[in-house]
Amino acid sequence: MTQPVLSVRDIVAGYGEMTILNGTTFDVMPGTITTVIGPNGAGKSTVFKTIFGMLKARTGSIHFKGTDITNAPPRKLLALGLCYVPQGRNIFPELNVLSNLELGGIAASADVNIPQRIEAVLERFPVLRRKGQQQAGTLSGGEQKLLEIARSLLLDPQLMLIDEPSIGLSPMMVQEVFSIIKELRAKGVSVLMIEQNARSALEISDDGLVLELGRTRMQDRAQTLLNDPRVGQLFLGGVIEEKSA
């Protein structure tokens, strides 16, 4: 049996007095794409914030490559090879594109050659090189997402958490982002992704999990979830979804 790259056990967390995660438990296997689906407000983004040390886990544990990272600060997680691309726009609008990119290397340990990593990332995302001196706020929504992804790749992560990457992007840009995610998997990077666009996301995923009211409702192969009528009805544009929407 291969060890999971990320293992989340019985996490309880929330905001202030409010509890959002009630014992969330799941695994991410190395080299896979795992998609998290679930209704709005289920706590999907909250799980990511808790894994990445932005929200305190009250109980439970999180292990990354066998190391206990429960409540570890972002800086440490980045150095260990974990990265996080949150929902929405997460750039520094008034800094130029290159400076935005460079800030992805803040947490690097001394032996990482950042200029070389930047060069490699620019090679993969030529649009960022072309617009390197432009203020990041002037990029299109899709280009900003690419910048965020590129920035998170600067430290050569082994696991990427990415929250709703396709939201607000043009269909072509969504395809671009999904193909980057597949490319990462091909290089051995594991990806844990939250997606509203559940069907397209599950189609490129190996595993999937359904989160509801802060608990893991199902965890299975993505294909199995795609064929599951309950999942279909609730999240893949089935009857109930259409009526309630």
Ligand X SMILES: Nc1ncnc2c1ncn2[C@@H]1O[C@H](COP(=O)(O)OP(=O)(O)OP(=O)(O)O)[C@@H](O)[C@H]1O
Residues in the site for other proteins, rule: CB under 8 A?
52, 54, 73-75, 78-79, 84, 86, 88-95, 99, 102-104, 106-107, 151
Interface pick for Mg ion out of 32, 34, 35, 45 (rule CB under 5 A) = 45
**28: closest CA among 52, 9, 54, 55?**
9
Residue owning tokens 């965890």: 219
130 burial type by CB count under 10 A (0-12 exposed, 13-18 middle, 19+ buried): exposed
**28: closest CA among 51, 45, 3, 52?**
3
Q: Which residue, 95 or 218, is less far from other proteins as judged by CB?
A: 95
Q: How far is the CB of 45 from Mg ion (least distance, A)?
A: 3
What is the contact surface with ligand X in residues (CB under 6 A)?
15, 20, 38, 40-46
Contact partner, 15, from other proteins, Mg ion, ligand X, none, Cβ < 5-8 Å per class: ligand X
What is the distance of C-alpha 112 from the center of its chain? 23
How far is the C-alpha of 97 from the C-alpha of 88, rounded, in Å? 17
CB 206 within 8 A of CB 221: yes
Contact partner, 239, from ligand X, Mg ion, other proteins, none, Cβ < 5-8 Å per class: none
Q: Which residue, 40 or 109, is less far from ligand X as judged by CB?
A: 40
How far is the C-alpha of 78 from the C-alpha of 183, rounded, in Å? 20
Q: How far is the CB of 75 from ligand X (least distance, A)?
A: 21
Contact partner, 42, from Mg ion, other proteins, ligand X, none, Cβ < 5-8 Å per class: ligand X
Summarize as ranges the residues that interact with Mg ion (CB under 5 A). Answer: 45
